Structure 1
Amino acid sequence: MGEFESKNEKESQSNERVEESHNLDGICEESGDIILNLHHNPIYGNSDLKDLHDLPTEILQKIFSSLLLERKVILISCLLSKLSSCVEALQAMIYPFTWPYSFIPVLPKSLWDFVEAPTPIICGILSIEVINDYEIEHGIVVDLDEKCILKEEGDEDKALCTSMLKTWRKSITIAKNIPQNQETHSYCLTDAYVNMFAIVLKNYGDYIVNGNFQKEAFIRSRKSKGVRRFLNWFTDTTMFLTFVDAVITNSQDFSQFDEKIALYGTESSSLILDKLLDWKILN
């Protein structure tokens, strides 16, 4: 028995340690240990994804895919506070990108005909009647109260590649193992999306040369076939093109995202998430 306890003690001392403080924003390796240094990051300043993430994971995935595909995303709830919170959270989900189309947290009934316009829109609506009175195409409509999809295109599951989904699901699981009343819970939800972009877009700055983005070379640089397939269509979106233009104009505006790439856009990023996942489940 004594030998068994001694062996366990040694194994415990050799395990990687994860220390929590504020939010996931740095890594330091000492003697084989993984230590996350967590400190304030403006990325999280106005984001609160808790209400939105009461939805099932499969619905969240379809909402996120619809955003990246630049389609209509319409959320419905009879509760104003929930509706506005969830609609605002959609902006945080796509950081470092910004939504380049109409964004209306609560669409009044007098303007419901906006949902029939052929252009993308993010909006919240306080009544389910809208789906009976108007024809909504090219997008997704979600009932927040019943936690169900009312309308969808049906191809949302094909937008993201396997490696992206794997990273996202790990991060979501980590967040769900943190009590919702802790500030870190909301930070981890935001990280689930930021980290995925950090992995997919790592080294993007190397392909902006003399004010031009070398799209084809950037896509070819990705080792994963799935990531290349994703980038083939995503780099043509207005969302991505606006991002590139903004980086060219003032790259310092994206320094926080670049720090995320330094942390999660590495070969060891999967190990970091695995260790965090093990740590949160065991604690």
Structure 2
Amino acid sequence: PFLFSPGGISSFCNSRGPCLFLSPTSDESKSESARRPGERSPFCYSPGQFFFEYLVVVSLKKKLGGDYEPKIIYQFPKRENLLRGQKEEEERLLQAIPLFCFPDGNHWAPLTEYTSETFSFVLTNVDGSRKIGYCRRLLPVGRGPRFPEVFCIISCLGCFGLFSKILDEVEKRRQISMAVIYPFMQGLRECPFPAPGKTVTIKSFIPDSGTELIELTRPLDSWLEHVEFRALLQRLSPENILWLFASAVLERRIIFVAEELSVLSQCIHAVAALLYPFSWAHTYIPVVPECLIDTVCCPTPFMVGVQKRCLEQVLDQPMEEVLLVDLCEGTFLRSVGVPGPLCPNCKSSIPFSASEQVNTHVSEAFIQFFVKTVGHYTSHLKWNKSGQGSFQEKAFCKDVTSKSCRKFVKRFVRTQMFSLFIQEAERSRITQEGYFQRKVTEYQEQKKKQRRNS
């Protein structure tokens, strides 16, 4: 079955509807722990990999009872000659996709105007592999009232900005004809996914316009390629962002509320990205389908998004303590104590501007927080003769000189995200020089220099 999250809530569609299993799987943890310390990513990448696995088009179809349900009306490419297990996996995937393309249930009527929006969801398989659905919901060209369609690109590659540009091209072609989309997607599928910082060029013919050259560039900073912080900065104050960050770091239950699917998707991805080099390891659903709204009753940590029209339904649920974030008003509707740490240094570093470097500036502030509080973890790994590492937790915590920081670290070491990170570190004595480790080394060199000069 597919897990509708990057780790935590599992669900698959069968004839009786969605079934839920509310705990991470050990297989997923094993997959996570095979990655390098400081370079954890929920999305796998291999050089030369396809841009995407499927393009599906989802539309609303009328049921016998009069309600509407989302159905796939087109799939590219069609898969043939699949083995039995592969065919069953594909069927589960294709059954799950419509639910997340139209998470707002049956609340639809034919429209004459609709502003297109972009959002994404994540499906995690039991072996820990993940697939992302990049969605563009739009109103097709036509006369009279009609239903919107969702163009959904399924890929195991995490790069939201790049796929948003691809969906721009898909929408542009949809305004001409469905037939113009498929040659473009075929050209894209035949093109290898670029390495960080590299560009690929795709030739695409459009009637009355001729052949266009479309350049797709992958960001150089790979840990930021699936995130856009601007949406979060526009909706929450620095104080609330820090409170939210602290709640996520300590693995609390967090519900986001917004009108638009795109806002929910962007803001939840942004909060998860603030945790780098750690990864959220629990239930994570950027947009909860209406039929799964009781997810908010989960007793374990979660980070989920709910459309505002479902707010009363959420509040009626027998929930445990949660942080309920209203992204429309920029306020907390419910909160749970001062989570700490609220890291004042991060607050002064949050850029509330339209700078193109906003992603880097925001991420850097929070990375430095982790560098200063837990960056000394490598000094407390002991190795046996067989090369197996053992983390010395008590000595690690005691090594933190600040009392407030030590209090945080003692709580943080008990989180699953820290445990998974340390499991990776214990696997190999060879330190991988990822971005986080480079920042740790720079900080330690600065401290040595200051001590020599004092």
Shared topology, TM-score over 0.5?
yes
**What root-mean-square deviation, in Å, do the aligned CA atoms of Structure 1 and Structure 2 show?**
2.3
Does the 8 Å CA contact 1:68/1:234 hold for their aligned counterparts?
A: yes
Paired residues of 2:382 and 2:392 also in contact (CA < 8 A) = yes
Q: State the shift of 1:254 in Å.
A: 6.5
SS of 1:141 mapped into structure 2: strand
2-side partners of 1:131 and 1:58: how far apart? 25
**What are the Cα deviations for residues 92-134 of structure 1, in whole angstroms up to 9, with x where unaligned?**
0111111111111100111110101111111111122333332
Q: Is residue 286–residue 305 contact of structure 2 (8 Å, CA) maintained in 1? A: yes
Bigger relative contact order, structure 1 or 2 (CA pairs below 8 A, ≥6 apart)? 1
Deviation at residue 239 of structure 1 after TM alignment: 1.4
Q: Which has the higher helix share?
A: 1
SS of 2:357's partner is helix
> What are the residue-to-residue correspondences of 1:48-197 with 2, within 5 Å?
48-54=228-234, 55-127=236-308, 128-156=311-339, 159-160=340-341, 165-172=343-350, 175-176=351-352, 179-180=353-354, 182-197=355-370
Gap runs ≥5 in structure 1? 1-38, 272-283
Give distance in 2, aligned partners of 1:254 and 1:193. 19
State how far apart, in whole Å, the 1-side matches of 2:227 and 2:359 are: 8
- Helix, strand or coil at the partner of 1:124: strand
1:105/1:99 CA distance change after superposition, 3 Å: same
Provide the rounded CA distance (Å) in 1 between the counterparts of 2:260 and 2:240.
Answer: 19
Q: Report the alpha carbon displacement of residue 209 of structure 1 after superposing the two structures with TM.
A: 1.3
Call closer, same or farther: CA 1:155–1:70 in 2, change over 3 Å: same
Deviation string, structure 1 residues 216-258 (Cα, Å, up to 9, x no partner): 1111111211111111111111111111012223566662111
Q: Structure 1 pair 131/151, CA: closer, same or farther in 2 (3 Å)?
A: farther
Match of 1:44 in 2: 224
Matched with 1:231 is 409
Q: What is residue 12 of structure 1 aligned with on the other side? A: none
Aligned length: 222
1:221 aligns with 2:399: yes
Counterpart-to-counterpart distance in 2, 1:59 and 1:259: 29
Secondary structure of the structure 1 residue equivalent to 2:230: coil
Distance 2:433 2:285 in 1: 25
| Residue 242 of structure 1: aligned partner | 420
- Greater share of strand: 2
Following the alignment from structure 2 to structure 1, what is the Cα–Cα distance between the partners of residues 445 and 338? 30
Cα deviation, residue 45, structure 1: 2.4
2:296 and 2:314 in contact (8 A); partners too: no
Could you tell me whether the CA contact under 8 Å between 1:199 and 1:265 is conserved in 2?
no
- Matched residue of 1:201: which SS? helix
Please state if 1:262 is matched with 2:441.
yes
**Structure 2 unmatched ranges of 5 or more:** 1-218, 384-388
**Counterparts of 1:254 and 1:91, CA distance in 2:** 22
Task: Indicate if the aligned counterparts of 2:398 and 2:406 stay in contact, CA closer than 8 A.
Answer: yes
The aligned counterpart of 2:72 is none
Q: In the aligned structure 1, how far is the partner of 2:270 from the partner of 2:315?
A: 26
Give me the TM-score of the superposition, normalised by structure 2: 0.46
Counterparts of 2:221 and 2:261, CA distance in 1: 29
Distance 1:189 1:143 in 2: 21
Contact 1:76 1:126 in 2 (8 A): yes
Note if contact 2:239-2:347 (Cα within 8 Å) is conserved in structure 1.
no
Q: For residues 233 and 101 of structure 1, do their structure 2 counterparts lie closer, same or farther at Cα, with a shift above 3 Å needed?
A: same
Is the 8 Å Cα contact of residues 227 and 266 (structure 2) preserved in structure 1? no
Q: Which runs of 4+ in 1 moved over 4 A?
A: 250-254, 264-268
Tell whether the 8 Å contact from 1:41 to 1:256 is kept in structure 2 after alignment: no
Say whether the 8 Å CA contact 2:246–2:341 is kept in structure 1: yes
The 1:85/1:40 distance shift into structure 2, 3 A limit, reads: same
Kindly indicate whether the alpha-carbon contact (under 8 Å) linking 1:247 and 1:254 is maintained by their aligned counterparts in 2.
no
- Aligned match of 1:206: 379
Amino acid at match of 2:395: A
Q: Following the alignment from structure 1 to structure 2, what is the Cα–Cα distance between the partners of residues 254 and 228?
A: 26
| Whole-angstrom distance in 2 between the partners of 1:167 and 1:92 | 18
